[in-house]
Amino acid sequence: MLATQYEEVVVDRLFAGNVQLIKALQPLVEAAESTLQLDEAKRARTILRVDAGSGTLVDLNCLLCRGYEVMAKEYSGQRVLRLTKTVTEWVQASDWSERSFDWVTEPLTGYVRPVQRIAVRCRRQDGTFSYGILICSLSAEQVLAVRKRLIPPRSWLPSGSVAKSCGNVRE
């Protein structure tokens, strides 16, 4: 687990080769809480970015209940495909013509706190699309404020990581 602002490893754990992130997330978060002495107030100021491997509703709700802000990718490929069908107008990204995005319009259910969901699609080399759903508990204004404070504008969404953010869900 990496503290981005400090670029320091906060928790370093070795799990068995068959342990996926979905099983390791809670122990890693608990270890980080201990290392960083994260009380309720500090957790409220902490953003956890998790990959699709732990972006389940249960995992995200656990983090939200503990007071964290989250930025994650949807875990369920079936849910990704269902939610992308609610997009009313795909907006083409200005920096990469093969990527487009828009808000998910399906009413939010199941989360213990409000979150925003953005559908992203990326055209693959074979012409099909891969899809992803980004989930964020921050408001758009908070995301922009964090971006300005922590991340140089040119490196905010490097094309390699953006392509990976679409995941492996095909239409």
Taking the C-alpha atoms of residue 100 and residue 147, their distance in angstroms, rounded to an integer, is 20
Per-residue pLDDT tens over the stretch 124-156: 999 999 999 999 999 878 877 776 665 544 444
Per-residue pLDDT tens over the stretch 59-72: 999 999 999 999 99
pTM above 0.95, yes or no: no
Taking the C-alpha atoms of residue 17 and residue 149, their distance in angstroms, rounded to an integer, is 37
Domain boundaries in the chain? 2-170
Taking the C-alpha atoms of residue 38 and residue 46, their distance in angstroms, rounded to an integer, is 9
Query: Residue 108: left (phi > 0), alpha (psi -120 to 50), or beta?
Result: beta
Residue 74 contacts residue 83 (beta carbons within 8 Å): yes
